[in-house]
Structure 1
Amino acid sequence: MTPFHRARDAAKQLRTALFGDLSSAALVSTRVVEAVAHEDAEDFDISPAHPADKALGGADAVLLRKFRQIIVRNDVPSEERSFLIAHEFGHWKLHPEEHDSCHRVIDSTLKPDDADTFGAQKVEAYGARERAELQANIFARELLLPRELARSLFLAGWTATRIQQTLCLPLELVRQQLLDGLLLPDHGPAADKTLGAITPTKEQTEATTSQAKASLVVAGPGTGKTATLLMRVQHLLSQGANPSELLLLTFSNRAARELVERLQLAGVENAHEIWVGTFHAFGLEFLRKNHERFGLRSVFGVADKMAQIALIEPHIYGLNLSAFSPLGDPLDWLNQVVIAIQRAKDELADANAFAQAVELSASQADSIALEKQRDIVKLYRCYEERLRADGGLVDMGDLVMLPALALSQDHAKFLASVGRFKHVLVDEYQDVNRASARLVQALAKHADSLWVVGDARQAIYRFRGASMRNILAFGEDFPDHKTFPLNENRRSYSEVVKVFEHTGRDANPLQMVLPLDDVSPVRGASGVRPRHIQCANNDIVRGELASNVRRLHAQGVPYRNQVILASMHDTCGDAADALNAAGVPALHLGDIFHRPEIKDLLALLQLFVDRSGSGLVRAARLPGLQLPPNDLEFLIDCLKTRRPDALSWLQATPEGLSLQGQAAVQQWATIFHGLSSGCSPWDVVCILLFDRTDILRPHLAGDTILDITRRLALWQFIYYLRAPDGGRTYQTVGSFITRLRRRLRVGDDREFRMPPPEADGLDAVAVMTIHQSKGLEFEAVHLVDVDAWHFRVLDDSDLVPRSLLHSVVPRDNFEAETEASNKLYVALSRAKKHLILYETRARHNAACVAAVTKAAHLLDRVMGTFVLPKAPPTPGAIQPQSVDAFDFGGFLTYRACPRRYYYDVVRGLSPTAGLHPATLVGGAVMRELFALHDAVPGEPPSEVERVLASFGPELRDSLPYLKAYADQLLASGRSWLGTSRAAMAKPFRVTCAGLPLVVSPHRIGQSGSAITIEFVRTNPPGKVSAQRTALKWVLKYLSEAHREYSFTGSLYSLSNGATETVFPYRRLPDDFVLVPVADGLKAGDFQAQPAPWACPKCRHFMYCPA
């Protein structure tokens, strides 16, 4: 039972005790808190006070435990007053210690516009500072409006507003209880469990009773790491340590949650007084307590990656950068720069230290990398200046680096914050970075004991800055330490242990530095040998996965005790889709912003900012918002042509709609009344879902895993809308659309892929990446993609100088090679009894990973044959076209994504909302430079000026730089043209692999029999360019059709003035990559092809597929 489940159950029990059968009735909040305070119940005095009253001390409410009194400010509405009182009753019932009053009822509960930044919310989810306050909030919410009651009222037809007004509750409380009650799985009251008695091994006893100043416990997979850690806590308490003197640091909210639960289950008295949380949560609390010493405001935010980029982007234009161009769309390289800055902070390097490291490593870097690193020095200094400008923000790196440096330099200055910690315990020590290790050293220096547990062979987070050096060189940091190896595996049967031991020893570079000790499998042999299934293609992988999961389920292994592990997130999604399609329940949220139920809401939100109304293709089929098909097409045609202000058509309806269409638009007007792009997306979605439409209701029925997953995804998404995204700036619908695209482009959405803890009890196959599986165990593990490509060595970024990175041994790539081997070791060791490996060369044509091949004598090799039935294509995805020939530009679009072609060419949709302004400027430049081939060029139209004028006030500061970008492109284009504007070359036809194409080059050059087909683009093509490949293909067929000429192509890039010459293909296989593309276009196959990096840049992203 998590602390939050405990809070919810405590509130339910109190409500039931007070009201009996009426506890499930709709009770007014004032009646509830009065009943709790009554002398026959908790016997409390509720005293209102002026906010400036000294008794409040600046708090919203104060619990005076000794006098059974709650003092509450008298200037809040009665519904908020009830919540504040209920919150303090939560402390009374849940926290028996003398609580220091509630100096800040979590603002994010009742005031989402004043909420903590998204970064801070991620950090403190299981930080000790907030755990008690979050518990009290949940207690108050459940006491005043139980989830089950909220759900039953909504299903009975009550709106959120009616519930709020009738029960005298804060609207935010009602919304949150509705979300939780309607969308989260409910398994009834959480049963209190106790841990069974654990008989410690001799090694565990020695480790837990260590008297050494510093102890390193080496705990391999399944050797009882967490149990040993808990026994260490119990030993310290039995020896007289006070729980508040214990500091237990870990690396993830999930691990912190598990430790808190296990401490409670173990019956550790006053476990709530032990500080348990992540390094970042500890740092956040430390900085909050000492904010003035770091130049921070008393209330500051934590910048996530989006906030970091937003902080520096406006200032890049005046930094005189050499390697990075500030003009155009800088998001991709800014993302890499921010990652490099965070990596520097992991190594305790501020901007000056980074600059010194760059010059120290200059001789080891190539000229391009060195130029980039010197640019990063400028960007780092600018970034730090902006970050520290008003004391309102820190970043994730600061949360560890600043406390580490401060405590190392002057520990005595911070005794009030950390002086009580006499015993420091660290979980997963192999995952610490240099900053975390320095923080541990600073804390341990003044503590009675340091006790860490880890395993170098489970170090797989190097890409996040972790270094196994800290555990391998533990003796250098703590010379008087003692090491305690744990060598009994209680998790896995011997057949599994032999496999992962083999890979951890014979195929791991660590073996020459740290030989692997033999581990004794306590469970002995199971008689079940691990399997290695070789599959000819991905269809067979999917079929064998489903077949083996079913087989094990039939043998008594519940779905929830099986897991699919993969290296890549997209492989996880593919596996989960295959299992669910085969009727096997698999829990996997995947990329929630690509899910259909989320796209419904995104399409609605886009309508608030998009003049073209393109989102109607999806939104107009939602419950209560349906438009007749003919009216829908008519309305979209009007909007994309006239482009009026977004949603203005609700008041000024275009003439020509049917009577039924007019009535539907009037219904829309009623539903959207009072809502605008300046509203919070949280408010808009909550109003639409809980007050004005039935959009949510179809998702509330059904209890299959797909039904539950849909609800979980909605829950994740809607709660995400509450947090200020990218900083403390109030989020509007307009800013949300742009920020979401940017967040997805930089890959900062991983936390949305993990289901909330409420999903833990579902009987479904877990699907996750190997990194996500760290610390977990399953009866059966299905590991897919056991090929060399997925376990390849990944190089360090060349943006970080090598002198900052400290390797274990003086050998290039040692840690990278070790981590690649460790990843396989971690994956294999998750299994208790059943271990099944799936191999295919179909995707990357890579051989099986060498470590598995060398362990062939320990595996049963099987040839996979099972294939699942093919799913039918999506309805409407196949629409053959009656066209004489296809445009070459359209063909390029089709190759990128058939559905994008459908929207661009077949439907003619052209939304611009959310696209990067540089993309719009680039399009305007091309329209100024080129007229159609049969048109008189004339004077250049004012396309750039028109686009710049269309940008809103949020881009006011960027306008000079966007104009400079446009001027640069125009000058480059006119230099290439030799004039200010020209007509494009006459189109020509060519048939490629049976596909008739019309090619419209920007220019055709000819010298004798040599013809050059010339194209202009804004940015240079990448190493793998669809345009280059397709042009080579076209040139091949041109050369074959007109052998009297020699054909070449050229690609001119406006941004850098470079020209690339393109030569035709000579020989191609019959199944060349463009042949199926051509066949699909001819057949009218417009199925979407989602791509994590391409989709957020697409203008149709918010409503595709529709």
Structure 2
Amino acid sequence: MPYRDQAILARSHLTLGRLTALLERLNVPLLYLGDLFERSEIRDLLSLVALDAEFGGLGLVRVAQLPAYGATEKDSLAVIAWAAVEKLPVIQALARVAEIDGLSDTGRDGLAKLGAELAFVGPGTSPWSMLTGWLFETGSYLNALVRSSDPADRQKLIAIYHLLKVCGEHDAVGDGSRKRLLERIRRIELLNQDSVYRAISAEATDIDAVRVLTIHGSKGLEFPAVHLPALATRYMPASRKGSRTPALAKYPQLNMAKVDHDAEEECLFFVGLSRARDHLSLTRAVKYTTQNATASKFLDSVSSIPATTRTAPSSVPLPIARPPVVVERRASYSASELETYIRCPAKYRYEQLMGLRGGADGAAFLDFHRCVRRTLAWIQDRRAAGVATSAAEALAHLDEVWAERGPVGHGFEGYYRQAANRMVANGAVFIATEQGASVDGGLDVTIAGRTVTMEPDRLVEAGGVVRVQRIRTGRQTKGEGDKPIYGALRLAAQKRFPGRTISVGAYYPSDGETREFPAGKEDKAIKAFEGAINGIEAGQFPAKPDDPRFCPNCQCYFIWIVPHNVV
């Protein structure tokens, strides 16, 4: 049966994304893009757009290593560093690679070629003009894709076409800013509002490829053959999620009960079944990732259909493994850098090993927090020197810090400043009235044969009790005390202050509250930091964040190599 006569339907884009990632590796042609902005070829183009549009020229790390240029990571970092010293845009630095020391011969030639291809790009060049000029006129990125008959390459061309449509829409409303386009894409990804970009355009529907849709998206359509995978508990029906909207007391009949949820899911199941005209395939796996799965209860309604069970090893080719990075073994690490590795190993590599840093542009929220923390640190330093600080003095110092480093002129400056004033005033009162003496110096503990150093925000001794505190300018979270840093702080404080009672906690200036965290998490802290140290020294830096929801906020988001999920 031709591919174009078949359709894969699933309950969610997450399930479809996992399945299509595997099918693409098997060279099955698909009319499905998945998350457009996380596709490899789209990341290549967004990294290009980010050159001199986002602070630091970080996109060069990815673009320079494209086959057409053959530069190494070291070459790209040398150009970025040289451009920073010379205070030049990265694209201008590419035109002067002959002046940059430490480049490989191949890298110098490739980067010079890239510079010549981007010579037409200036500060006001729009994303549309930059991409179309490079793709269709000066560059050679499309050459191999256009000549290829490989289904995966056809899919890449479709994805690039969609990205160009996004850029064209951005340009059509009179916004030629590359930076604002990238900010828009980050927001789309952060808010998980990319579903509109997953649909294949009408121009590509004549391709002989399997149609891939959510069941919701298939309503009103019909296909000769339909595959309904993942018919297992938690996938179909999906687990019922609690509503964030308060229950309607006046109209209780409008509140969705569990029975309503189950009925809606069952209707969705039968919508999927009814999309098939001639052939229908219902499948499930006995295990998804590492979890066993039972059959969907909806399969009971079609139990008269003969079922077959097949157990076979996976025939899906494994993705190409990245070689480990050679890392020099060290005698000590700071707890803050190990926390970065725990949050995301790839972020650790970009920041700590490669020295890549994003700018503060567009980070008004972060600037506001930095101002508060800087002011509270100033108050704490004065207290350690025996000088009390009133709330009025603290706010006056905040004025100075804000003028230099705050989000001045931002649309939400008034809101941020009001919150900052409250935090600083609360912090000044708290520090001034607290009993005990501030203790100078940091803390350290030995983990995995390495010294792990820590600098708590506050270290106060009073009556045989040593209080170790972090200042958290964000909102309180239930899991704060479970973070490895608190167990490590307790161990380090016990080492420095033997025989004393150790209190470990966090102070929240937003509401003036202090939370103490009980002992008992020390083993967890050792295990987490030991794992981070071993991972760093083994050169393993996968893009596996502990909370992928916040990846779009990372300065290196567009240059990451995104791992495919597996079913």
Q: Same fold (TM over 0.5)?
A: yes
Query: Equivalent residue for 2:483?
Result: 1029
Give secondary structure in 2 for the equivalent of 1:722: helix
Distance 1:876 1:839 in 2: 32
> How do residues 566-577 of structure 1 correspond to structure 2 at under 5 angstroms?
566-577=10-21
Query: Equivalent residue for 1:821?
Result: 266
Give secondary structure in 2 for the equivalent of 1:793: coil
Give secondary structure in 1 for the equivalent of 2:283: strand
State yes or no: 1:754 paired with 2:199.
yes
Equivalent of 1:598, from 21, 32, 42?
42
Q: Which amino acid aligns with 1:1060?
A: R
State yes or no: 1:791 paired with 2:238.
yes
- Sort the Cα spacing of 1:1084 and 1:568 in 2 relative to 1 into closer, same or farther, 3 A: farther
What do the CA deviations read for 1:606-642 (whole angstroms, capped 9, x no partner)? Answer: 2222342222211223466665765533222244567
Distance 1:1013 1:853 in 2: 58
- Sort the Cα spacing of 1:935 and 1:1058 in 2 relative to 1 into closer, same or farther, 3 A: closer
Query: Equivalent residue for 1:840?
Result: 287
Shift of the alpha carbon at 1:593?
0.9
Answer whether contact 1:1031 1:1062 (CA < 8 A) is retained.
no
State yes or no: 1:615 paired with 2:59.
yes
Shift of the alpha carbon at 1:883?
2.0
Shift of the alpha carbon at 1:1088?
1.3
Query: Equivalent residue for 1:63?
Result: none
State yes or no: 1:1018 paired with 2:473.
yes
Answer whether contact 1:899 1:1105 (CA < 8 A) is retained.
no
Query: Equivalent residue for 1:723?
Result: 169
Please report the RMSD computed on the Cα atoms of aligned residues, expressed in angstroms.
4.5
Distance 1:859 1:1066 in 2: 52
Give secondary structure in 1 for the equivalent of 2:281: strand
> How do residues 885-964 of structure 1 correspond to structure 2 at under 5 angstroms?
885-912=332-359, 915-927=362-374, 929-930=376-377, 944-948=402-406, 957-964=411-418
Q: Which amino acid aligns with 1:946?
A: E
Distance 1:983 1:691 in 2: 64
Equivalent of 1:1093, from 512, 524, 549?
549
State yes or no: 1:866 paired with 2:313.
yes
Distance 2:303 2:343 in 1: 41
- Sort the Cα spacing of 1:1020 and 1:800 in 2 relative to 1 into closer, same or farther, 3 A: same
- Sort the Cα spacing of 1:1020 and 1:963 in 2 relative to 1 into closer, same or farther, 3 A: closer
- Sort the Cα spacing of 1:996 and 1:961 in 2 relative to 1 into closer, same or farther, 3 A: same
Q: Which amino acid aligns with 2:125?
A: C
State yes or no: 1:988 paired with 2:444.
yes
Query: Equivalent residue for 1:1060?
Result: 515
Answer whether contact 2:439 2:459 (CA < 8 A) is retained.
no
Distance 2:216 2:529 in 1: 35
What do the CA deviations read for 1:112-166 (whole angstroms, capped 9, x no partner)? Answer: xxxxxxxxxxxxxxxxxxxxxxxxxxxxxxxxxxxxxxxxxxxxxxxxxxxxxxx
- Sort the Cα spacing of 1:565 and 1:602 in 2 relative to 1 into closer, same or farther, 3 A: same
Distance 2:216 2:138 in 1: 42
- Sort the Cα spacing of 1:850 and 1:977 in 2 relative to 1 into closer, same or farther, 3 A: farther
Give secondary structure in 1 for the equivalent of 2:558: coil
> How do residues 802-821 of structure 1 correspond to structure 2 at under 5 angstroms?
807=254, 812-821=257-266
Query: Equivalent residue for 1:689?
Result: 135
Answer whether contact 2:79 2:94 (CA < 8 A) is retained.
no
After TM superposition, the structure 1 stretch with the greater mean CA deviation from structure 2, 860-869 or 897-906, is 860-869
Answer whether contact 1:1036 1:1065 (CA < 8 A) is retained.
no
Query: Equivalent residue for 1:737?
Result: 182
- Sort the Cα spacing of 1:1032 and 1:586 in 2 relative to 1 into closer, same or farther, 3 A: farther
Distance 2:165 2:464 in 1: 65
Query: Equivalent residue for 2:151?
Result: 705
Answer whether contact 1:1012 1:1048 (CA < 8 A) is retained.
yes
Q: Which amino acid aligns with 2:453?
A: V
Answer whether contact 1:1035 1:1063 (CA < 8 A) is retained.
no
> How do residues 361-372 of structure 1 correspond to structure 2 at under 5 angstroms?
none
Distance 1:720 1:964 in 2: 37
What do the CA deviations read for 1:219-253 (whole angstroms, capped 9, x no partner)? Answer: xxxxxxxxxxxxxxxxxxxxxxxxxxxxxxxxxxx
Distance 2:460 2:96 in 1: 51
Higher gyration radius (CA): 1
Distance 2:470 2:63 in 1: 38
Q: Which amino acid aligns with 2:553?
A: K
Distance 2:168 2:267 in 1: 38
What do the CA deviations read for 1:971-1020 (whole angstroms, capped 9, x no partner)? Answer: 455455449xx99850312427x886433322234556755432123312
Answer whether contact 1:608 1:646 (CA < 8 A) is retained.
yes
Answer whether contact 1:780 1:833 (CA < 8 A) is retained.
yes
Distance 2:24 2:526 in 1: 31
Distance 1:716 1:811 in 2: 37
> How do residues 273-352 of structure 1 correspond to structure 2 at under 5 angstroms?
none
- Sort the Cα spacing of 1:883 and 1:693 in 2 relative to 1 into closer, same or farther, 3 A: same
After TM superposition, the structure 1 stretch with the greater mean CA deviation from structure 2, 1036-1045 or 998-1007, is 1036-1045
Equivalent of 1:1001, from 421, 435, 456?
456
- Sort the Cα spacing of 1:844 and 1:567 in 2 relative to 1 into closer, same or farther, 3 A: farther
What do the CA deviations read for 1:295-338 (whole angstroms, capped 9, x no partner)? Answer: xxxxxxxxxxxxxxxxxxxxxxxxxxxxxxxxxxxxxxxxxxxx
Distance 1:800 1:968 in 2: 33
- Sort the Cα spacing of 1:759 and 1:662 in 2 relative to 1 into closer, same or farther, 3 A: closer
Q: Which amino acid aligns with 2:158?
A: L
After TM superposition, the structure 1 stretch with the greater mean CA deviation from structure 2, 794-803 or 903-912, is 794-803
Give secondary structure in 2 for the equivalent of 1:612: helix
State yes or no: 1:1102 paired with 2:558.
yes
- For normalisation by structure 2, the TM-score amounts to 0.78
- Sort the Cα spacing of 1:834 and 1:811 in 2 relative to 1 into closer, same or farther, 3 A: closer
Distance 1:803 1:641 in 2: 65
Answer whether contact 1:1034 1:1064 (CA < 8 A) is retained.
no
- Sort the Cα spacing of 1:802 and 1:845 in 2 relative to 1 into closer, same or farther, 3 A: farther
Query: Equivalent residue for 2:389?
Result: none
- Sort the Cα spacing of 1:947 and 1:1045 in 2 relative to 1 into closer, same or farther, 3 A: same
- For normalisation by structure 1, the TM-score amounts to 0.43
Answer whether contact 2:460 2:468 (CA < 8 A) is retained.
yes
Distance 1:656 1:638 in 2: 7
Shift of the alpha carbon at 1:1066?
5.8
Give secondary structure in 1 for the equivalent of 2:57: coil
Give secondary structure in 2 for the equivalent of 1:921: helix
What do the CA deviations read for 1:907-956 (whole angstroms, capped 9, x no partner)? Answer: 1110126653212332354345448x99999998966433347x7xxx55
Give secondary structure in 2 for the equivalent of 1:721: helix
Query: Once the two structures are aligned, what percentage of the paired residues are identical?
Result: 22
Equivalent of 2:539, from 1064, 1074, 1084?
1084
- Sort the Cα spacing of 1:811 and 1:899 in 2 relative to 1 into closer, same or farther, 3 A: closer
